[in-house]
Structure formats: structure tokens, C-alpha cells
Structure 1
Amino acid sequence: MTVTIKDVAKRAQVAPSTVSRVIADHPKITQETKEKVRKVMQELGYHPNLLARKLVTQSSQTIGIIRKTSSKHSLSDPFFPAALQGMSDLLHQKEYSILLTSGESDEEIYREVVNMVQGKSVDGMIMLYSQDDDPVLRLLLERNFPFVMIGKPTDHMDKVMYVDNDNVKAARDITEYLIRAGHEHIAYAGGDPRFEVHKDREHGYKQALKRANIQSEFMFRQETSKENAREIIKKIFDLNPRPTAIVTTDELAAMSILSALYEQKLRVPDDMAVTAFTDSMLSELSSPPMTTVNINPFQLGFEAAKTLIDLLENPSMMKRNILVPTSIVVRESCKKIKENEAIR
């Protein structure tokens, strides 16, 4: 026999409308009542009709996740699954599903977002990036569509709610860590400068050198794949003075650099110190284990999802931006160097 809302209400000694509001997680229902009703629902084996709920509330109960790159690249980047887990944990609590973009180009991703907005297949969106002159951002602003960004927007900062790290400080901190270890010539292998995160980290790297009165900058502004890491290492070892350390902006770049160094029979950290951002198990298991900046991607995802749900529940809420702290995780890919090593 099918259990109904009325059955749950009778057992819990509340009105059927209260049960409906508990199912919808209505903020005006006390936590005590919610727990009591949910316990009865579990005892009776009652399962809400989610399709009917969506029709009544005019909600898809789905959040769109917009990736900056192709699905193949996203799945191999340790940042993405960690951030996705943070979003999933919060959204699961609120009974929301997730719909990921799967395009392999900027144009395909843009078309998917247009379809999501026009087809009302999602209630809101989380952008996992911030870049210059982004048509996706313009579309969401023009349509007044609810969204939150992971990353500081390049413009429209008064209109966009975002969650981010202080990437300038984070890059400055890791560069200064290398300087304190005795490195005076430090290279920077950054990603595509269209993306705000890479611009901020580059800025932090430069700040650290300026504070230490180090004049030499060694910049490599490109996505560091395994293929072009060899070329970067070749260029670094042709430099005079030669850098003794490399700041990379993500773990995949760092692993590519490690591979290129080992191909040249160069040792880390004896011949070159290497650092990365993110701090996943990939860094723990690398050889040697990687010194990283932990940007807390799980927390970035969780806070982005929480902010978006708050916005959906209260569209007139005051705009807010959240900075998630970072920390340096010291492992074995860096070491202090002697004065004669620093000038060789």
C-alpha cells in the first residue's frame, strides 16, 4: 500500500502542508520539526514524488556546472573532482542534481549554456573559471540568470558573486618560500593569461621578486603539457643565470615539468626545485612528493554551491564574495641551497 503525505502527517502529528514544507526544506519550519517529520518518513518508507515537486515549485532542482575546458582535460585536472565533491556534498543536502557541460570547445560549451538557460533545465549555474571577454558571463548577466563564479571576475565585479583564493598572496607566499630557501633565480611556468587565476598568480610571483630586490624574471605563459614541458626545460637550461627553482600554477604542469627534468637525468630538488598549486594525492604520490600551495578546492566548491543556493532561496540577498584561505604544504621537491649553488 502506497504511503502518502497524509499518512506521514498523521504519524508525525502535523498538518500535511507542514510535511510538504519539510520536503521542500522550507526555512520557516524549525529544525526540530524537520527532524521529526523526516524520521517518520523514513519509518514509513515514504519517498517524495520529485517530479511532482518540480512541477509544483517550477524548479528543475538541478544546478549547471560550467567548465572552462574540455571534459577530457577537466577530468584529468585534480582541481575539478575535488571542487565537484565540495559542490556535490552541499547540493546533495539540498536535494539538487548536477548537470555538467561536456563541450570540447568554447563554442560548444557556450551553446550548452544557452540551451540550459533557454530550456530552463537548471535553476542556477556555477562557473569554474573567470576569463577575459567571456560570452558565457555576458549571457548570464544579460538574462539575469542566477550564477556564482569560482574565481575573481575580470569585470562586472559589482554584479557577480564569486568564491576564490587570494591568488596574488598565494603565489607571493610560495615564491618567498623559495627565496628564503636560498633561491635567487626562480622561473614561473603559468597557464593561459586569459584566465584571471593565472594573471593573479603571475602578479604574486613578480611581487615576491620585487620585495626581495631580485631583478631577474623568467616567465613561461602557456598551458604546460607534457609535450611543451620539454621545451620549457630546454629554454631554462639555456638561460644565464640559470634558474634553480620553478613555480608552476597547477599539479598537471608540475608533473609535466618533473617528467621533462627526469628525461634530462636531472634530479629534484638537487638540480631544480619545483612547486605546484592545488595539493591533491597526486602531489603526495609524485617522486619526490611535491611542495604545493593548498588552495582547498573542496571548500571552494562547497562555498560556491552554498552561495548559489542562498541566492536561489533569497534572490534579493546582498551580493557577497568569499575568499578561501591557502597554505603551503612542504614536502620534498624543494630544499635549501648553499650560496655557491645559488650562483652557479
Structure 2
Amino acid sequence: MTVTIKDVAREAGVATSTVSRTLKDSPLISENTKVKVRQAMQKLGYTPNFAAQNLANKSTRTIGVILPVGTMGNPAQNPLFLEMIQEIGVVCNEQKYMISLATGKTMAELKDSVRLMHQRKLVDGFILLYSEAKDPIRKFLHDEKIPYALLGKPDVYENETIYIDNDNRLSGKSAADCLIQHGHQRIGYVGLTPSQVVDKERYKGYSDALRDAKLTVHPELYFETPTDFMAFQEFLEETKPTGLVVGDDRLALRVLQYLQLDKYKVPDDISLISFNNSVFATLSHPFLTTIDIHVQELARQAAALLIRHIHEPSALLPKMIVPHEVIERETVMQVQD
């Protein structure tokens, strides 16, 4: 026979409303009474019907997590996204929330997934694990007034968005400064994709550092199309760089492999510094010198701030900047005179 809230109230010798408030951890109920009610629940094997509670409260206690589409890098192949999801899950578990993933092979497919989750009232809000310029997903969330948090800096609606980010312009400057401090003067930048806001900000920081040092700022290079590879090869031959700032650790491994196939030694001929301090940084030798963006803290704060906003919708929308640090390993060396 199913144990009900009335059975728990009878066993604990309290009113059913007291049991209900104990389930919500109400401050109106004393700790002694809460202990007594919880002991009765355990004795009777009572399991709260969260679905019924959520229906009554018009809440799903579920957070939707939106992953980027394949054109922004396959999330299934990037452990950074898995790490973010894990940390969001930790916070949600602590707050008695669940998570539900929204994915899609194209932007249209992803938008349909997000719209369906919202229309069917499957989630209370969303966390976007990426920041993309002119993003139709974020426009939909904004227009429909759906609670959401953004991992990264927004290109629009900044004052109307909960976002958690690093100072990416400063981190880009820190990366270039690291190379400059090791005596490098011919420094290039290899970016992720032209549409990613984070990449634009890091390139600005790279440019700031080189201008401050009175060095030549080179156009951003990419590693996606045959034309990109030709431009990169021309840059190597004409500029003869001694250092490269690379958009993230995963891309840095591809650049490293390309350089090695072209008979360049890293860091002897060309030094590399990248971003994220992910598992890729220590997958193969030489280990990558990289910028640690503290992705675990970014993800935890995104979940915590969104849940707080769901419970306090009239409060000001918070923004948070998480510090970064340079992790020096094996791919940056002092330039020899």
C-alpha cells in the first residue's frame, strides 16, 4: 500500500500541513519538528511525490542545458562541455533540481528543441553553454521572457541577461603578454570561428598586448577550410612567427600537429599558448601552456544564479566575472638571442 502524507502526519503526531512545510524546509517549522517528521518518513518508507508538488507549484524543478550545434564544435567530442554539465548537475542536485539537455545538429533543429521544451513546460529555465553572435536561440528566450543564464558575454541584451564569464579580452592579453615576456616579437593568433564572441574578445586582448609592446598585430587566422590552411602556411613562411596564441587547447593540438608535420619544433621554433586548461592540455608532449578559465566555477555559478532568479524573478539580473590564470607547462620557451 502506498504511504501518504496523512500516514506520515499520523505517525509523527502533527498536521498534514506541517509535513508539507517540512518537505519544503519551511523556516516556520522548528528543527525538532522537522526531525520528528523526517524520522516518521524514514520509518514508513515515504517517498514525496515531487511531480504532484511541482504541478501544484507550477514548477518543473528542471533546468534545460543548451549545447552548441556542430558548426561550433561537436560537444560530444569536447570534454569541456561534459565538465560543465557535470558541475551544473552538482548544483542542481543540491537544490533538488534536475537537468535536461537540448541539442541539435543545426541551429534550426536546436531552436525547435528549445521551443518544444518550453511549450510543453518541461523546464523552468535554460543555461546556454556558448555565446554566439546573433544567436536565434537567445533571441527566442529573450522575446518569450524565458529565464536563462549565459556562459559567456552576450553580444546583445547585456543588461537583461544573467551571464557568467571570464574577462576574455584580459585573458587574451595575458596569453600574448606571456609570449612577450619570454622575448617573442613575431606573434600570431589562431582563432576558433569568426562568430564566437569569446574569440573576438580574446583577439582584442592579443591586439592590446602587441600594441602596448609596439609590436605588429597580425590578422586573426583560422583552422577550418583549405583556404585557412593556405593562409596559415603563408603566415609561417612570410612572417616567421616565434609564438602563437591559439583559441583553445583542442585547437592547439591540431596546430601543434600541423607544425610538427611541417618540421617545426614546439617550443624550440614556435611557442604556443592556448586557453581552457582542459584535459587536452596534458594529452601529449609537449604539455600545453594554457590559460585556466576555471570552467567548473563558471558552470556552478551559472546554475546557482539561474535557480536564484527563478525563485526571485523581480531581483536584479546578476553578472559575474571569474578570474583566469596562466598555467605554464612546456610549449612556451624563452627566445634565444
TM-score (norm 1): 0.88
Percent of matched pairs sharing the same residue? 35
Give me the whole-angstrom Cα distance separating, in 1, the residues matched to 2:208 and 2:36: 56
Distance change (3 Å), C-alpha of 1:81 and 1:12: farther
Q: CA deviation at 1:215?
A: 2.1
* C-alpha RMSD of the superposition: 2.6
Q: Deviations over 1:321-340 (max 9, x none)?
A: 0111111111111111113x
TM-score, structure 2 normalization: 0.90
Match of 2:257 among 256, 259, 279: 259
Three-state SS of the structure 1 residue aligned to 2:140 is: helix
Question: Structure 1 residues 290 and 21, CA, compared in 2 at 3 Å: closer, same or farther?
Answer: farther
Distance 1:29 1:85, change over 3 A: farther
Q: Where does residue 155 of structure 1 map in the other structure?
A: 156
Distance (Å, rounded) in 2 between the aligned partners of 1:273 and 1:16:
68
The whole-number CA distance in structure 1 between the counterparts of 2:47 and 2:258 is 55
Q: Report the secondary structure of 2:84's partner residue.
A: helix
Aligned to 1:236: 235
2:47 match: secondary structure: coil
Task: Please say if residues 62 and 97 of structure 1, whose CA atoms lie closer than 8 Å, have aligned partners that are also in contact.
Answer: yes
Partner of 1:107: 108
SS of structure 2 residue aligned to 1:306: helix
CA distance in 2: counterparts of 1:225 and 1:42, whole angstroms? 58
**2:135 corresponding residue in structure 1:** 134
Residue 8 of structure 1 and its aligned partner are, at CA, apart by 4.2
Range with bigger deviation, 19-28 or 176-185: 19-28
Q: Contact 2:186 / 2:216 at 8 angstroms: preserved in 1?
A: no
* Structure 1 CA distance for aligned equivalents of residues 157 and 320 of structure 2: 16
Q: Where do residues 13-28 of structure 1 align in structure 2 (5 Å cutoff)?
A: 15-25=15-25
Which shows bigger deviation, 29-38 or 183-192? 29-38
| Corresponding residue of 2:273 | 275
In structure 1, how many angstroms separate the alpha carbons of the residues matched to 2:31 and 2:304? 18
Q: How many residues align?
A: 336
Structure 2, unmatched stretches of 5+, are none
- Three-state SS of the structure 1 residue aligned to 2:155 is coil
Q: 2:46: which partner in 1? A: 46
Read off the aligned partner of 2:233 and give its amino acid letter. K
Q: Distance in 1 between matches of 2:31 and 2:226?
A: 55
d(CA) in 2 for partners of 1:321, 1:204 = 21
Cα offset for 1:53?
Answer: 2.0
Q: Mean alpha-carbon deviation: is it higher for 114-123 or for 318-327? A: 114-123
Task: Judge conservation of contact 2:67–2:128 (CA < 8 Å) in 1.
Answer: yes
CA distance in 1, matches of 2:229, 2:38: 58
**Where does residue 286 of structure 1 map in the other structure?**
284
Q: In structure 2, what residue type is equivalent to 1:130?
A: S
Contact (CA 8 Å) 2:207, 2:217: kept in 1 or not? no
Partner of 1:210: 211
Which deviates more, 231-240 or 246-255? 231-240
Contact 2:186 2:243 in 1 (8 A): yes
Name the CA shift for 1:290/1:40 in 2 (closer, same or farther; >3 Å): farther
Q: In the TM superposition, what are the counterparts of 1:31-70 in structure 2 within 5 Å?
A: 41-42=41-42, 44-70=44-70
In structure 2, the CA distance between the partners of 1:31 and 1:272, relative to structure 1 (3 Å rule), is farther
Aligned-partner Cα distance in 1 for 2:17–2:286: 60
Note closer, same or farther for the CA distance 1:338–1:32 as it changes in structure 2 (3 Å cut).
farther
Aligned CA distance change for structure 1 residues 178 and 64 (closer, same or farther; 3 Å):
same
